[in-house]
Structure 1
Amino acid sequence: MGRKLIRTCLWLVGGLALIVVGIFLYFRITEPNPAKGPVAPLKQQQGETSYRLLIIEGAPVEPDSYGIYDPSIEYSRDGSVGWLLYSSVTGNYRPAGKYVHTCLARTTDHGRTWTYVGRINTSADGTLDLGDGRKLDGVWRYEVSTLVRDDGAPEGDWKLFVHKYFWSPQKDRMFAYGWIAMRTAHDPAGPWSEEVPLFGAGRNPPAPYHHTQVDVNALSPDLSHQVTYSEMGSLCHDGSLYLSLGAMWFLGPDKIVLLRSRDHARTWEFVHTLVTRDDAKALGYSWLDGSSLAADHGHFFLLVTPGSRKLMHDGTLAFEFDSLENGTLKRDSAGHPTIATYFPVQSSLLSGPGGGQSDYDEHNTGGGLLMPQFDLRAYPHVFQIFSTGRKLTAP
């Protein structure tokens, strides 16, 4: 009886392994080639690009710093003061640090220069409760934050949303043990409220962390199988707060969706799925990730980073909304999203992971769109942000 059980278990394990290998091979064989997609000629037209490295004046000099990433820009109501939320990667751990903090900088010259304000979210060592008495040591990280001005909100006009998750040397990034948190303030310089665990995904995060206010998976049948959400973009328009979310399943980025709140983030509704893996395939890529929302001269845009195993993060694509209220993008006759403009990464940098998880504010005229890019030659400061000097729309 025992031998039969062992044989059955081995058969099941072997069958599962074959299924996993089959799925892997399928995606490898069917992976699109970016060189044959519509983005390739846009790269050729623009030629070699060179952007200005963004320096945060007055930022503390940390001996174990690996640089800064994940820019999010938002300007004051009159457009005179700009605020930059970004990730700071630190920690004496190879290859690229174990702590990811959220920091804030300020500009009064429309993005020509930036001055350090402070650290908003501090990444720290922690112990994860796995249940049944099991524990795991690691780090709580704050990544891919987005800053938005939500005028008229009783708790303050400013909100930040950030992906908080657990990381350990043994497991790496444990997204299932993570959620999107929210903080509010009357002034970006602070003080900021305590963080609220806002968005979860179905059963994730599991107990004892299952205290998020909104189960995003329950907002639409289209989202019922997502594992987690990340890479947010934010925008307020006509009294509504919009968030773009990257929905992830067990094989990685799946789709980008749009949520809306009409009551300053008290309640949320699903608006529409913005782009999918099918859209990525039509563009010559495997996925679209790193979302952001932006406005420029009355036009609204979704910014995304196309990626594949050949080119992990290949710059920034801007898609114009046909209707922000309905969450629909402008599409061609075949139903594919129309590229409004493309921002390539700098090919002169040694950048295997690439870059492109950008953000934009129309008041940032001294810096234009801000793009992060990975540069191995600058090690250990491999995470960098650049001012492209470019707008989304023609002047």
Structure 2
Amino acid sequence: MLEDLGVEGFVGTPFHKRTAAAVETSSWFPWPPYIVPDIYTDFREELAAMRTAATLNEMSPLSKTRISGPDAPRLANRILPRNALTQRVGQILYSPWCNEEGKMVADGLVFRFGEEEYVFVAGPQEQWFKMNAGGLDVEVEDISPSIGILAIQGPKSTEVLERATGQDWSSLGFSRIRKTEIGGASVDVSRQGFTGEVGYELWVSPEGACPMWDALMEAGGEYGLRPAGEYAIDIARVEAGLLIIGADYMGAGPDPTPPVDDPTQMRECSPFELRLGRFVDFDKPEFVGRQALMDEQAAGGAPRRMVGLSIDWRAMLEHQLERGEFCQMFPRVHDMPLPVIASGKRVGYATSVTWGPTVGGLIGLGHIDSPSANLGAQLSVLWSASGQTVEIAAEVVRLPFRPHRRA
């Protein structure tokens, strides 16, 4: 079936037979080593369903690294700036983790499935964890191929899950895990998501993937459930003010970071630069990067801050019309950093610039020098087209662009 798509060097996920059958476009998204649907029918309709009904989102390519053994809690606590020792079995922590210089290696979800078992869901992390496991009785392994992940997201997601399982899910708290059965397959259900909506992530064996998909689609018919591709998912996470490695910061670890068009404009960041300082617990006596982060705070804090940017889309259209160009408004999340200036001086860059259909504006994540990052600050984004660079007005606004409804 992959040969029919005209792609080489990629493999299908456990859900590929179902996702390929549902796609009505030729738009696919490479997520090495996998390939997943980018647009099933229309990304606008898929995003609208995510905001008003429910969608199934393919997330199987996420890297999943398991650490297990008697010293697994010690390794997790050594890596994370959060206190992993207080994490309960069946609980999920979101956290960044850093190198010794206090720069983020990655960020992601940490699932605790047992007293001696954690699974980190982020970019590839196997090398980094092994580098930090010295002297510990622990095993580190990439288990990504053994698990398929579907996210069901949207205000009707709970109803769909209840219909598919015949169980009440209203009591499952955010970032908690519970086992169930869907379509005859054993499933780990977590109250999580990457869209800002109420939602769940469903972990299943490759053998159970298609039966689970079928059961969910059947259960979700009356609730408007439909598949959503990567295009709509990416826009949704920007509207929710959520960052990703490789697009919004460069990973500082040894494992490969997903490429961007121009990585020279992006830099490694501390958690405090990316609004993640609340996940750093200086009461912990030790964790990787602790001293560097303490030094950063003692020196006055992060030199830059991530903020929301509302960009003047009308001015951008006017520039295009003046030059007789085809008018476009970053319908896709722009993956190349754009310089940001204030009073003629470079003060940072913008990432993940896109048109947000739900919020009705051109938005992006600004990485701005702290003195210029205050709410309401007037800045300019440098935008290049047809060999010309123009300044487009932008204003610092609150994140997220759209309030989260997932908790």
TM over 0.5, shorter chain: no
TM-score by length of 2: 0.25
**Bigger RCO (CA 8 Å, 6+ sep):** 2
- When you count strand as a share of all residues, which structure comes out higher? 1
- When you count helix as a share of all residues, which structure comes out higher? 2
